[in-house]
Amino acid sequence: MPEFEDKDISKVIKILGKEVKKWDVPIINFMAVSTGDPFKVLVSTILSLRTKDDTTADASKRLFAKASTPEEIVKLGQKKVAKLIYPVGFYNVKAKNIINLCKTLISDYNSKVPDDLDELLKFEGVGRKTANLVITVGFNKPGICVDIHVHRISNRLGYINTKSPDQTEMVLRDKLPKKFWIDYNYILVSFGQHLCRPVSPFCSRCPIEKYCNKLGVERNR
C-alpha cells in the first residue's frame, strides 16, 4: 500500500461525499436541516454524547415538543427535563447542564447561541467536539469537529498520526484544506457508522479502499 499523500484527501472526500447521500443523515445534521435553529442543534448535540442517534432523536423530539427556547426549558425544571430526555446517557447530568446553559443564554447572551468557539466552550458540558459541531452544523461556519469516527478514520487512512481526538483536531486545523472543514465530520461520521466500523470494517465494499493504509485494522470484511 503506497503512503497516503496529502493530495489524496481531496479524492477521498469527493468520493465519500457522493456515497453519504445513500446513508442516513446523522441526527445533528438532520436537526440543523429540519429546524435551522442553532439552539436546538446545541441541545441535541449535548444529548447525543455517548448516546445512539435513534435515542438522541427521540429525546430531542420529546423535549422540543414541550419546550423549544431557553426560557421554556428553564420553566420545565431539571427533573422534568431529565424525565423527557431519558434514556440518553448521563441524562441527569445532561439535564442539569442544559438548564444551566439555558440560564446563561438568557442572562448573558439575550437567549441567542453564540457563533464563537471560545464563547461556546464557556458553557458547562460543552467541550471542543460539541462547540465545533455547533459552529459547523448550526451556523455553517468553518470548524473542525472531531469525534471518535473522525479520529479513527483519519488515522486509519494514514492521513494523520495522532493519539487523541484533541490532537487530531489541532493537526487537521493545520493540514486539512479549509474548504473541507464544514463537511469533514458529517462525511466521516456517516462513513464510520455504515462501512468503516471500529472493528472489522467492510473493506470489501469500501469505495476508497485503494487510498487507505488500514492502519490498526486487524481484520475486515
pLDDT tens-place string over residues 67-98: 999 999 999 999 999 999 999 999 999 999 99
The predicted-structure confidence for 11-24, as pLDDT tens digits, reads as follows: 999 999 999 989 88
The model's confidence at residue 2, banded by pLDDT at 50, 70 and 90, is low
Catalytic residue among 147, 174, 183, 214: 147
Domain that holds residue 162: 8-24+143-211
Residue 179 and residue 181: Cα distance in Å, rounded?
A: 6
Say whether pLDDT at 113 is over 70.
yes
What integer best gives the mean pLDDT of the chain?
94
- Selected catalytic residue, list 129, 141, 163, 166: 129
* Among candidate residues 110, 139, 168, the one where a domain is terminated: 139
| Domain tally, the chain | 2
- In DSSP notation, 43-90 reads HHHHHHTTS-HHHHHHHHHHHHHH--SHHHHHHH-HHHHHHHHTTSTT
Residues 119-147 have pLDDT tens digits of: 999 998 899 999 999 999 999 999 999 99
Question: Catalytic annotation on 129?
Answer: yes
Q: Where among 77, 108, 139 does a domain terminate?
A: 139
Q: For residue 185, tell me if it sits in a domain.
A: yes
Cβ neighbours around 121 below 10 Å, total: 13
Specify the pLDDT at position 203: 96
Q: 160 with 133, same domain?
A: no
Residue 130's CATH number: 1.10.340.30
